């Protein structure tokens, strides 16, 4: 069963074929992709969407498409959970986001990521969720902090070559116990 999540303002849902065009626009935007190795062609964007949809088909959850119903926005980008085992060399799940620029600064990434953490800890029973980016990505680091994550370590991204200016990354994380102790979504015991 494919999972859909809801927050006060957002719907996080499985992907639809019509999401591919606005997703390709995000991936082609040099500002939206500033902290990634490059923008993506339409073909590469569609290949990424294929992988996202395949993960949904396998496990029922993943990188959800974000809708903003009150603004009539059917696809603002994605927020969700993904396995990042190949990045850190051990099993882990990352919470991540990629939104179109016109949706930045409205708290959507924070709101949706909080719901993803709730799902990760309450439904999936995960012990920890991580998130990572380049040190210069201050906006994403702020989202990580707003959702209760703390800086854990710095590391070199294994998919990026030695000398690549984006190779160095910061890793943030939150455990289930930390989330339960500090989450406004979890009533006190």
Given a cut of 50, whether residue 188 has pLDDT beyond it is no
Report the topology of domain 5-182.
Aminopeptidase (3.40.630)
What's the pLDDT band for 162 if we cut at 50, 70, 90? very high
Mean pLDDT of 82-102: 91
Break the chain into its structural domains and give their ranges: 5-182
Residues 160 and 182: their CA atoms lie apart, in Å, by 35
Cβ contacts of residue 69 below 8 Å, gap of 6+?
Answer: 9, 10, 11
Given a cut of 70, whether residue 185 has pLDDT beyond it is no
Lowest mean pLDDT among 5-9, 41-45, 88-92, 111-115: 88-92
Within 10 angstroms of residue 131's Cβ, the number of other Cβ atoms is 24
Residue 178 contacts residue 148 (beta carbons within 8 Å): yes
- Predicted confidence at residue 178, as pLDDT, reads 95
Residues 118 and 14: their CA atoms lie apart, in Å, by 18
pLDDT in tens, 46-59: 999 999 999 999 99
């Amino acid at each position: 069963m494919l999972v859909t999540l809801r927050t006060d303002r957002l719907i996080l849902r499985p992907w639809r074929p019509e999401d591919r065009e606005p997703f390709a626009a995000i991936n082609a935007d040099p500002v939206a992709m500033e902290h990634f190795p490059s923008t993506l062609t339409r073909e590469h964007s569609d290949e990424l969407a294929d992988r996202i949809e395949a993960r949904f088909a396998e496990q029922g959850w993943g990188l959800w498409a974000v809708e903003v119903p009150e603004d009539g926005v059917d696809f603002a980008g994605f927020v969700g959970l993904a396995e990042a085992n190949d990045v850190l060399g051990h099993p882990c799940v990352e919470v991540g986001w990629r939104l179109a620029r016109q949706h930045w600064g409205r708290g959507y990434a924070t709101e949706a990521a909080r719901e993803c953490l709730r799902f990760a800890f309450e439904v999936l029973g995960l012990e920890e969720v991580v998130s990572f980016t380049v040190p210069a990505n201050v906006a994403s680091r702020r989202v990580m902090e707003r959702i209760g994550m703390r800086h854990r370590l710095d590391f070199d991204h294994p998919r990026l070559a030695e000398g690549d200016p984006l190779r160095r990354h910061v890793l943030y994380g939150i455990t289930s116990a930390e989330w339960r102790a500090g989450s406004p979504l979890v009533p006190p015991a």
